Chain A
Amino acid sequence: MYQGVRISGFGGQGVVSAGVLLAQAGLVEGKAVSWYPSYGPEMRGGTANCSVVITDTEVATPVVALPDTAIIMNEPSLPKFEPLVKKGGLLIINSSLVKTKATRTDIKVVYVPCSEIAEKVGSLKTANLVALGTFAGLTGAISIDAIASAMKKVFKRAKPEALALNRKALEEGAKIK
């Protein structure tokens, strides 16, 4: 099993921490993982993205040039990453914010109203977790339990209520096919 993932969105949408969570979850399941952020002269309100690799063997390249899955949380990220997804790969689009449709036909495209679902769950802040839930459900690369267990390690000061809310968001995301 090998999953190279790119998660991209606005700074503040939790794309970087969603990546850390995914990597930590992979580690919980005993996989080899890596996480690599886009860093540099980024502006407040600009786009941020990160690379995550989860594999059974060894992570060679931590920079995911051609992702198996791209999770697109905002409009500017779509033209940037849609062309890079591997043939047969998966494109998860946050349709609450991204109004443009994907044009590729050789990949699976899933539109998830992440923000709407997150608000229904109880906090807009969980939109990134809704997307992670969809990723987990569709790829099987990681289990919801592993992500939930990773949350305790990544968000060390989170209250139990917040963790329960996060788990709900993951589960709602995982329902999307």
Chain B
Amino acid sequence: MSEKVLMKGNEALAEGAIRAGCRFFAGYPITPQNEVPEYMSWRQEEVGGAFVQAESEIAAVNMLYGAAATGTRSMTSSSSPGISLKQEGISYLAGADMPCLIANIMRGGPGLGNIAGAQGDYIQATRGGGNGDYRLIVLAPFSVHELANFPKKAFELAEKYRMPAMILADGILGQMMEGMSFDFDPVEPAALKPACWSIGGARAEGKKRNMVYSYALGEGELEKMVLKRADKYALIERDEVIYEERFTEDAEILVVAYGISARASIEAINIARKKGIKVGLLRPITLWPFPTKRIKELSSKVKCILCPEMSLGQMIVDVKLAVDGKVPVYLHARPGAFFPVAEDIAVAIESALTGKKEQLFDLESLADKATLGCHQPENKPSKEGALL
């Protein structure tokens, strides 16, 4: 491993992609991921790749479709509202079985939301996001080091299974600096095996041409295509699950958290462990495929599970599916792009174990508080906000 350098998350992601052999990037500016296209704009030129600042997110994702079809390692990045705009293209990429990398540096939502880090796009990322039956391989880094090293992993998985991969991070990871290093030698694109399915150059070389498309109009053809993809998805769910575990050997309560929430959880676990509470962590690194099997195993050893999330509870759905009602699964929710406080999660851990409600998301009491009718937003949009 090389010496650690101080690098910003977004720049580490961009440099990591370049070193992984990415030679095409198209994007459109949006906070908090702007350093990714900014870095790509000069770095792609240095390595002989292509950078396009597209006229819109939709244009960028369709340029990605075209570039990926040539077999070039290609990437786009954006943040939540921009990723929503790209969904049409992502669905087409999945339908055409195109390997590529999409990075989502999540911010608050829905709508324009705000520009702070958030985790509200989990469901969108792990269920496809666009129309039709499809999945994306979703990697969730929790450090600048992982942001730098995951693009290579993402491209390799995308190419192995011929499908799009996503790196799902958030504004905090994108904006923060940390000591990091690259765990791999730069990939020289020319040294990669050319894709047998890619388009371009067939006529000049006198070869049979390849086709890239996302439709199958003949009777029964689409179902065959979708079912074939389902086999592939099952294989990925069996073979490609990645997660990290800490203190699970003696755990009475398990915290399941990903990305930046996992870091706040680690601090919370340190606080709780000092008080003698036996608490462990499972951090899903692949969000799809999800570590369902491992969570199911652990659920038979613990009294309950806590999911701290910067959303109204999205990953918890997958945790509950894995647990299948065997033990209670609680939520500590910080929606609206509010960074979870470790001390609060520590309280939530105690509450979950002792049957209290403090710092736990109490679904039962919510309906009574709902306001209906012609209520107005509490805050008018600020002047600066209008610039976003």
Measured CB to CB, the residues of A under 8 A from B are: 20, 23-24, 27, 32-37, 39-43, 58-63, 65, 153
Known contacts A62-B172, A63-B339, A43 near B384 by CB under 8 Å: yes
Verify A61–B263 contact, CB threshold 8 A. Answer: yes
Q: How far is the CA of A65 from the CA of B268 in the complex (A)?
A: 13
CB contacts (< 8 Å) of B254 on chain A: these are none
CB contacts (< 8 Å) of A63 on chain B: these are 172, 339
0 or 1 for each of B370-388: is its CB under 8 Å from A? (1 = yes) = 0000000000001011011
Binds A, one of B118-126, B130-138, B173-181: B173-181
Q: How far is the CA of A32 from the CA of B31 in the complex (A)?
A: 27
Verify A60–B342 contact, CB threshold 8 A. Answer: yes
Measured CB to CB, the residues of B under 8 A from A are: 4-6, 31-32, 114-116, 171-172, 175-179, 263-264, 266-267, 270, 339, 341-342, 382, 384-385, 387-388
Q: How far is the CA of A97 from the CA of B1 in the complex (A)?
A: 45
Partner of A39, one of B31, B178, B264, B266: B31
Verify A60–B172 contact, CB threshold 8 A. Answer: no
Q: How far is the CA of A65 from the CA of B338 in the complex (A)?
A: 12
Partner of A36, one of B176, B267, B270, B382: B176
Verify B177–A61 contact, CB threshold 8 A. Answer: no
Nearest CB on B from A151, distance (A) = 13
CB contacts (< 8 Å) of B175 on chain A: these are 36-37, 39
Q: B262: nearest residue on chain A (CB-CB)?
A: A60
Q: How far is the CA of A36 from the CA of B177 in the complex (A)?
A: 6
- 27 A-B interface contacts by CB (under 8 A): A20-B6, A23-B6, A23-B177, A24-B6, A27-B4, A27-B6, A33-B178, A33-B179, A36-B172, A36-B175, A39-B31, A39-B115, A39-B171, A39-B175, A40-B115, A40-B116, A58-B266, A60-B264, A60-B266, A61-B263, A61-B267, A61-B339, A62-B178, A62-B263, A63-B339, A65-B339, A65-B341
Q: How far is the CA of A23 from the CA of B5 in the complex (A)?
A: 11
Partner of B31, one of A23, A37, A40: A40
Nearest CB on A from B115, distance (A) = 5
CB contacts (< 8 Å) of B341 on chain A: these are 65
Verify A35–B267 contact, CB threshold 8 A. Answer: no
Q: How far is the CA of A36 from the CA of B387 in the complex (A)?
A: 23
Q: A37: nearest residue on chain B (CB-CB)?
A: B175
Q: B5: nearest residue on chain A (CB-CB)?
A: A27
Q: B263: nearest residue on chain A (CB-CB)?
A: A60
